[in-house]
């Protein structure tokens, strides 16, 4: 099948091209981009007219918890440790696989409607979780967050291995990572076991690291060294690493990490909301580390609208460094697209609009008084775009949403009723 997106203002994020924005027709055969032409005159089975619209790669959310939509805005006036220990973990112990299915389904729809086509999840994997991913058609780096601090480490790992072996060849849209929760919830022996599994399966490791000062202090007391050097001591730097947060990395930690296959996922809203601080990502970028963006879960991040979270990225860096020139909007857009693809090991498939890559594409409509006029499109995307400006989401060549209408067989009202019942059952407030 040939699908053509015509007449759009295309932001390819392909740095081999001369212009950041081009008038192009995008020709898609099945799931793959096969042509980029100023005017395509060939045959087409479907034409999407993008006249006066912005066409760009789908956004990539490199650290989130899709099963946590139930906890949206539950962290008011909590620090991270109290929120996890007193509120979240006691309720999570009561969640069923079906509860997580509905919660994940809600997050997937929120992602699609806000232009996110790929997510890297870091939640507790269950069979129903994967079903929600498959039903919505989103691209996913799937995992099952594991820890052994409560004595259930082997049980959690068995669940993940079963899901991995049953699903690793089932869908081109689903890839996998190993996800130890953190250095403070996993023992050294458990982390070494996870390292060996990641190397055996050739999977990345996705882990929370140096999220707040209390965590950094605890790890230093436990290991008598800084967190990044614990990764080295335990051999985790042999693996491809996706490090969520990294709010606090010393210069010597940066020097260590930049020589390995490491990506840092900046979660600006969650870090602000939980009082964790501001990660100096400009320093990380200047030292050659690959930095991308995550939202975290809705509990600490309010929403998973990547456009909302992008707004904070360079504003915080400009404030942190007291210098408005430290980042520009195109740099931020790279964090949310091609850098995210590199972090997840998907840069040969997604993250930019290029011939031969998968068609993960979104279309923005700026026919809105709040965003008019648009003198600088890139700046508008980063600073003044929200989910309702996304009118079309295409994933793997399939149109999942068009003109703000979902084209998948999910009844949103029924879903909201199911979520309401779970909230009532578990007394989430």
| pLDDT at residue 131 tops 80 | yes
| pLDDT at residue 125 tops 80 | no
Those residues whose C-beta lies under 8 Å from the C-beta of residue 299, and which sit 6 or more positions away, are 65, 68, 71, 72, 73, 74, 75, 83, 88
What pLDDT sits at residue 150? 87
CB 75 within 8 A of CB 83: yes
The three-class DSSP label of residue 334 is helix
Name the pLDDT band for 12 (thresholds 50, 70, 90).
Answer: very high
What pLDDT sits at residue 308? 97
Name the pLDDT band for 95 (thresholds 50, 70, 90).
Answer: confident
What pLDDT sits at residue 88? 82
What pLDDT sits at residue 170? 83
Rounded Cα gap, residues 230 and 191, in angstroms:
10
CB 4 within 8 A of CB 48: yes
Name the pLDDT band for 231 (thresholds 50, 70, 90).
Answer: very high
What pLDDT sits at residue 90? 85
- Report pTM: 0.96
Name the pLDDT band for 91 (thresholds 50, 70, 90).
Answer: confident
How confident is the model over 82-96, as a mean pLDDT? 83
What pLDDT sits at residue 48? 98
Name the pLDDT band for 143 (thresholds 50, 70, 90).
Answer: very high
Q: What is the mean pLDDT of the chain?
A: 95
Tens of pLDDT, residue by residue over 259-284, are 999 999 999 999 999 999 999 999 99
What pLDDT sits at residue 126? 75
Which residue would you say has higher pLDDT here, 170 or 31? Answer: 31
Q: Where are the domains of the chain?
A: 2-57+357-406, 59-343
Tens of pLDDT, residue by residue over 320-340, are 999 999 999 999 999 999 999
Tens of pLDDT, residue by residue over 190-219, are 999 999 999 999 999 999 999 999 999 999
How confident is the model over 28-57, as a mean pLDDT? 97
In our burial notation (b when 16+ CB lie closer than 10 A, e otherwise), range 167-194 reads beeebebbbbbbbbbbbbbbeeebbebb
Tens of pLDDT, residue by residue over 371-395, are 999 889 999 999 999 999 999 999 9
What pLDDT sits at residue 79? 83
CB 306 within 8 A of CB 294: no
Domain 2-57+357-406, what architecture? Roll (2.30)
Domain 59-343, what architecture? Alpha-Beta Barrel (3.20)
| pLDDT at residue 81 tops 90 | no
């Amino acid at each position: 099948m040939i699908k053509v997106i015509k007449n759009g203002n295309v932001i390819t994020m392909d740095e081999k091209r001369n212009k950041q924005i081009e008038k192009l027709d995008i020709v898609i055969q099945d799931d793959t981009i096969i042509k980029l032409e100023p005017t395509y005159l060939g045959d087409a089975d479907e034409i999407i007219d993008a006249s006066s619209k912005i066409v760009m790669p789908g956004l990539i959310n490199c650290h989130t918890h899709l099963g946590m939509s139930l906890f949206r805005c539950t962290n008011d006036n909590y620090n991270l440790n109290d929120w996890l220990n007193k509120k979240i973990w006691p309720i999570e112990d009561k969640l069923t696989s079906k509860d997580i299915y509905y919660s994940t389904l809600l997050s997937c729809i929120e992602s699609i409607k806000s232009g996110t086509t790929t997510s890297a999840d870091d939640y507790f994997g269950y069979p129903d979780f994967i079903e929600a991913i498959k039903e919505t058609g989103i691209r996913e780096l799937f995992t099952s967050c594991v820890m052994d601090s409560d004595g259930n480490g082997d049980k959690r790992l068995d669940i993940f291995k079963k899901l991995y072996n049953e699903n690793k060849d089932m869908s081109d849209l689903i890839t996998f990572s190993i996800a130890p929760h953190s250095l403070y919830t996993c023992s050294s022996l458990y982390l070494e076991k996870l390292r060996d599994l990641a190397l055996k399966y050739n999977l990345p490791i996705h882990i929370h690291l140096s999220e707040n000062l209390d965590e950094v202090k605890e790890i230093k007391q436990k290991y008598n060294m800084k967190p990044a050097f614990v990764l080295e001591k335990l051999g985790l730097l042999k693996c491809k690493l996706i490090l969520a947060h990294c709010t606090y990395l010393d210069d010597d930690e940066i020097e260590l990490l930049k020589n390995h296959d490491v990506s840092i996922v900046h979660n600006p809203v969650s870090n602000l909301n939980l009082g964790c601080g501001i990660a100096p990502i400009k320093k990380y970028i200047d030292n050659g580390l690959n930095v991308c963006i995550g939202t975290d879960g809705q509990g600490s991040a309010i929403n998973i609208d990547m456009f909302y979270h992008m707004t904070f990225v360079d504003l915080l860096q400009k404030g942190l460094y007291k210098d408005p020139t430290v980042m520009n909007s195109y740099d931020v857009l790279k964090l949310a697209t091609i850098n995210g693809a590199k972090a997840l090991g998907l840069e040969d498939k997604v993250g930019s609009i290029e011939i031969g890559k998968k068609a993960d594409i979104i279309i923005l409509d700026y026919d809105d008084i709040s965003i008019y006029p648009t003198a600088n499109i890139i700046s508008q995307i980063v600073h003044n775009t929200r989910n309702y400006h996304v009118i079309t989401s295409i994933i793997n060549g399939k149109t999942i949403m068009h003109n703000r209408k979902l084209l998948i067989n999910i009844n949103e009202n029924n879903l909201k009723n199911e979520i309401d019942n779970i909230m009532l059952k578990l007394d989430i407030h």
